[in-house]
Amino acid sequence: MGVSRRFISLFALLLIMLFVCVKASTQKTERNSRYIFQENNQLSLSSDDKWINEHAADNPEEIASMVDITIRNSTERRNLGYFSCGTGNPIDDCWRCDRRWYLRRKRLANCGIGFGRNAIGGRDGRYYVVSNPGDDDPVNPKPGTLRHAVIQDRPLWIVFKRDMVITLKQELIMNSFKTIDGRGADVHIANGACITIQFVTNIIIHGVYIHDCKPTGNAMVRSSPSHYGWRTMADGDGISIFGSSHIWIDHNSLSNCADGLIDAIMGSTAITISNNYFTHHNEVMLLGHSDSYVRDKQMQVTIAYNHFGEGLVQRMPRCRHGYFHVVNNDYTKWEMYAIGGSANPTINSQGNRYLAPVNPFAKEVTKRVATDNGQWRHWNWRSEGDLFLNGAYFTPSGAGAAASYAKASSLGAKSSSFVGTITSNAGALSCRHGRIC
């Protein structure tokens, strides 16, 4: 009877313990359910916020927030091993990991960042294959030539059948909604006239070599199927942007032109210059027409992930009037200065790496051109998170007005310690079918 009572007591104890465990498990499940619900709810809000940022391009601060998230996500994916080719460069990580990129070329148009992020180029048009490198007649270009492609009055995504060197007799005057996509071929625009983007919109130039550009002009040149006209002498810029908007210049190699490598003037705006490799040139980049041309006060340009390499002297860039975001670029020496300006531009330098030359009189990154201290000390020029090597230094100025810097902010800067990685593939890429670029 004692044994039976002990058995009943043990059995009752086991039932009690089982009941307690089941209840605890139920409570834990309810707590987890509440946690998952909260987490999902937060995820939903985050997605909504991202959607708002993606569609609120008029506000530079929101652009900066959106791209900052993109950069962080890009880095996190790389850390998790999702991308074998991930670099933390949000433009490259958007498309370069796809081995079948050549079948999905137009995805590039969705990878833009900064002030030129809305440039779609020829995304909504057909492909045009350039098969002829000639430029025999700038007024009546032959089908299959680059000039025939860029003057068309419809969107086109322009690619190249094979490697080629295109020596232009006169300026290549582009029409709106065009992409020049050099991926998959070694395409050089060299030893003649080069590219003019004038009074047009939505242009992407990607993956070409532009060098040894020369002054041309005093000739008739066609700019559309229905119009040609007299062109006066051009300066010999690599890429000249004149009164145009929504322009993206990405992954090109530029060097040794008669005037500037890239100039943007006469009210141009909404421009991103990214992932380019600049070498062997004096006056690299001019942004703003003249001190007296006040329409350039609305100019906004992003200069990101570029490598300013060997043999450069000055103007990386030289700015007037507008708002300029210089972010995560690699400056490997200059002869005179890196960043200059006049006429009260706002310059926002973030996360760059500046390596000064040996010359002890050329260590300063900045130069106020032909302006006395009493004027420029009020200009908003700032440096945040930049890395200065070999005695390089940046002279800041201004009161740091938040509204001014908001207009000169276009993406979230990464630490300058990552600049070497981010810019390691600057310039035209070697892309081949079936391989990651």
Contact call for residues 73 and 47 (beta carbons, < 8 A) = no
Residue the block writes with tokens 């490697």: 163
DSSP secondary-structure letter at 393? B
Query: Where are the extended beta strands (E) located within 107-256?
Result: 126-130, 156-160, 164-166, 172-173, 178-181, 187-190, 195-198, 201-206, 209-211, 219-224, 227-231, 239-242, 245-250, 253-255
Six-digit token string for 92: 């490259």
- Neighbouring-strand partners of residue 221: 229
- Encode 176-197 in three state secondary structure: CCEEEECCCCCEEEECCECEEE
Amino acid sitting at position 25: S
> Which bin fits 33, alpha (ψ -120 to 50), beta or left (φ > 0)?
alpha
Q: Which residues contact 241 (CB under 8 A, 6 or more apart)?
A: 197, 247, 262, 263, 264, 265, 268, 271
What whole-number distance in Å separates Cα of residue 62 and Cα of residue 59?
5
Catalytic residues: 315
Relative to beta strand 300-304, strand 277-279 is: unpaired
What phi and psi, each to the nearest 5 degrees, are found at residue 83? -120, 120
Sheet holding 239-242, edge to edge: 172-173, 195-198, 239-242, 262-265, 285-287, 318-320, 339-342, 366-368
Contact call for residues 115 and 325 (beta carbons, < 8 A) = yes
Half-sphere exposure of 192 (CA within 13 A, CB side): 16
Angle of helix 2-54 relative to helix 60-80, nearest 10 degrees, comes to 130
Task: Give, in order, the Cα–Cα distances in Å from 52 to each of 59, 60, 65, 377.
Answer: 11, 13, 11, 37
Task: Give, in order, the Cα–Cα distances in Å from 173 to each of 146, 147, 151, 242.
Answer: 10, 8, 7, 11
DSSP secondary-structure letter at 414? P
- Nearest one of 273, 251, 270 to 262, comparing CA atoms: 273
